[in-house]
Amino acid sequence: MSKSSGITPLRRQYLQIKSQYPDAIVLYRLGDFYETFDEDAKIVSQTCDIVLTSRPVGKNQRVP
């Protein structure tokens, strides 16, 4: 994680790709699992009827 920005390289890459393709759902394969973030996570959770989880991304902030 970059100490200056508090954003992990994965998160930075997600935001960059999402800005290029705002209408696409962006999924990352991490080991045996796929992850997505922000509004994409909410959409996938509702569409696939799966539990929405979150993780800390900064001081007192969590991202779905």
DSSP type of residue 24: S
Give CA torsion, residues 36, 42, 44, 49, to 10 deg. 130
Dist. CA 19–CA 42, nearest whole Å = 18
Show the domains of the chain with their CATH numbers: 9-63 (3.40.1170.10)
What integer pLDDT is reported at residue 58 of this predicted model? 65
What does the block give as tokens for 59?
Answer: 């001081």
Digit-coded pLDDT (tens) for 29-64: 999 999 999 999 999 999 999 999 887 766 666 666
Q: Is 39 left (phi over 0), alpha (psi -120 to 50) or beta?
A: alpha
What integer pLDDT is reported at residue 54 of this predicted model? 80
